[in-house]
């Protein structure tokens, strides 16, 4: 569609989102980047963080757990390990995951600290993004 972007977010758990949008902002591994229609094509790695998109007057928020973004002139496709729209985030589950990760990190010598650190990063991002509501 002219002057629109098709945003697809796909994870091993299924298609999380497929919408015609006006603008997308992603947490790239090298920093945040924004995409408007007619952007030059590129491919990049995403880190744990927030994807924001604008649709008309609304701004919406999605948690993205690692992955890739493929940008074309009229398309942004995100392939992520997991992703949830802000409304779909279970805050209690994220807080429980945060507590588990913090407990594991206290016993650093005994555990895989990289794994616990990313679990902590995911849970913190989920709690923050869950607080965000659609901006109109």
71 near ligand ATP, judged by CB under 6 A:
no
52 near ligand ATP, judged by CB under 6 A:
no
- Interatomic CA distance for residues 127 and 94, integer angstroms: 6
Return the range that interacts with ligand ATP (CB under 6 A); candidates 24-32, 39-47, 85-93, 109-117: 85-93
- Interatomic CA distance for residues 24 and 53, integer angstroms: 4
106: three-class secondary structure by DSSP: helix
Binding mask 87-116 for ligand ATP (x = CB under 6 A): -xxx--xx--x-------------------
DSSP 127: H
Report the residue number, 19 or 88, with the smaller CB distance to ligand ATP.
88
82 near ligand ATP, judged by CB under 6 A:
yes
Q: Which two tokens stand for residue 50?
A: 């927030």
Q: What is the closest distance, in whole angstroms, from the C-beta atom of residue 51 to ligand ATP in the complex?
A: 13
* Nearest 10 degrees: Cα torsion 116, 122, 124, 128: 180
């Amino acid at each position: 569609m002219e002057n629109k972007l098709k945003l697809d977010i796909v994870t091993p758990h299924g298609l999380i989102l497929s919408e015609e949008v006006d603008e997308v902002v992603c947490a790239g591994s090298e920093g945040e980047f924004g995409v408007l229609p007619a952007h030059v094509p590129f491919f990049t790695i995403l880190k744990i963080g927030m994807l924001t998109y604008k649709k008309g007057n609304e701004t919406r928020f999605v948690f993205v757990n690692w992955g890739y973004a493929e940008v074309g002139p009229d398309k942004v496709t995100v392939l992520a390990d997991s992703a949830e729209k802000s409304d779909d985030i279970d805050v209690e589950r994220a807080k429980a995951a945060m507590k588990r990760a913090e407990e594991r990190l206290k016993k650093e010598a005994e555990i895989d600290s990289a794994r616990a650190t990313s679990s902590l990063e995911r849970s913190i991002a989920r709690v923050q993004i869950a607080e965000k509501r659609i901006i109109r």
